[in-house]
């Protein structure tokens, strides 16, 4: 990997992170769901009560990918874990090992923080991602279905006391 590096994002990178979010949303055919803004990114990733972290990958001075993750907790393992929310490498830079390097950096962070798990979700049609994850030894957790309450439902349930 020629002149490749990974670093933690800073508040000044909020616009760049936003561009990556738009890129992954376009790839996943979910652009219509993006509500992110650079201002929201600054608030949630860089203010004192930050809820997530971000790594940026560079080839030379060119930003080529990102990973956004946050901590969760496993009661069964009785340890913190890392949930990888997004991992994305711009299409022009794929096949160079950059995505794998970002994922391995997350694993390194998990080891340093004594995490019991690193988990993520992948769209069932995204065969290149599934093949990539399985090639590094990740296993699908079958038998579990993800449920979600969106902001509207949270508001409705919260106000129905």
H/E stretch holding 134: helix 127-135
pLDDT digits (tens, 9 = 90+) for 6-41: 999 999 999 999 999 999 999 999 999 999 999 999
Domain chopping of the chain, boundaries: 4-158
pLDDT tens digits, 123-154: 999 999 999 999 999 999 999 988 888 888 88
Residues present in the chain in total: 161
DSSP string, 24-73: HHHHTT-GGG----HHHHHHHHHSTT---EEEEEEETTEEEEEEEEEEEE
Q: Which residues are catalytic?
A: 133
The closest alpha carbon to 28, from 124, 137, 106, belongs to 124
Residue 80 forms beta bridges with which residues? Answer: 73
Q: What is the pTM of this model?
A: 0.92
Half-sphere exposure of 17 (CA within 13 A, CB side): 29
CATH fold of the domain at 4-158: Aminopeptidase (3.40.630)
């Amino acid at each position: 990997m020629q002149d490749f590096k990974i670093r933690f994002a800073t508040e000044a990178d909020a616009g760049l992170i936003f561009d990556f979010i738009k890129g992954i949303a376009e790839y996943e055919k979910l652009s219509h769901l993006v509500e992110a803004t650079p201002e929201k990114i600054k608030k949630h990733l860089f203010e004192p009560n930050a809820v997530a972290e971000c790594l940026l990958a560079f080839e030379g001075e060119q930003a080529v990918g990102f990973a956004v993750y946050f901590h969760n907790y496993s009661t069964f393992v009785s340890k913190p874990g890392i949930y990888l929310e997004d991992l994305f490498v711009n299409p022009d830079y794929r096949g160079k090992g950059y995505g794998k390097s970002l994922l391995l950096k997350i694993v390194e962070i998990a080891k340093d923080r004594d995490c019991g798990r690193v988990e993520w979700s992948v769209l069932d049609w995204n065969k290149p991602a599934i093949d990539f994850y399985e090639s590094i030894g990740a296993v699908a957790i079958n038998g579990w279905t993800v449920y979600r309450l969106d902001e509207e439902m949270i508001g409705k349930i919260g106000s129905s006391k």
